[in-house]
Amino acid sequence: MTARKFKTASVQRSDYSTYLKKAKEFHDTMLQAQKEKRWNAVGLNAVHCAISAADALLVFHIGQRSIDPDHRVVVELMINSLNTPDAANESKTLQKIINQKNLIEYEQRTFREKEADLIIKHTVRFYNWVISKLG
């Protein structure tokens, strides 16, 4: 079995802060949407927060980020590039968050409060973990 090729872009490691800033904005907007009971906005901002946080982490550590249209690739890239027990564990959290994207954006129903509460829990955990890994 051959290793899967990832579509990535090289990024100056110092530019991780751009992706972290995006993640923070999505994080803060997610929490504001929660206060306003805008569950769809909670969900979509959570997904974007997690993806931007993962980008920040990858840029910081390996100088690359995923440019694949399939957002799940960032999970594989994180596992393969960071190769630590905590990265493997947190990649599962990231996967849970990303898995909700299709439901939030494309299904013929709205995101529910219970789902919003769960995605917030996962996103805050992942976001805080990323921050702890950025030195």
Please report, for the chain, the start and end positions of each structural domain, with discontinuous segments joined by +.
8-132
Question: pTM for the whole thing?
Answer: 0.92
Q: Which residues contact 134 (CB under 8 A, 6 or more apart)?
A: 16, 20, 56, 57, 60
Mean pLDDT of the chain: 93
Question: For the chain, how many helices (H) and strands (E)?
Answer: 6, 2
CATH numeric code, 8-132: 1.20.120.330
pLDDT band, very low/low/confident/very high, at 8 (cuts 50, 70, 90)? confident
pLDDT band, very low/low/confident/very high, at 18 (cuts 50, 70, 90)? very high
Nearest to 30 by CA among 17, 47, 16: 47
Per-residue model confidence (pLDDT) at position 62: 94
Pairwise CA distance, residues 114 & 33, whole Å:
14
Q: What is the pLDDT of residues 78-127, one digit of tens each?
A: 988 887 889 989 999 999 999 999 999 999 999 999 999 999 999 999 99
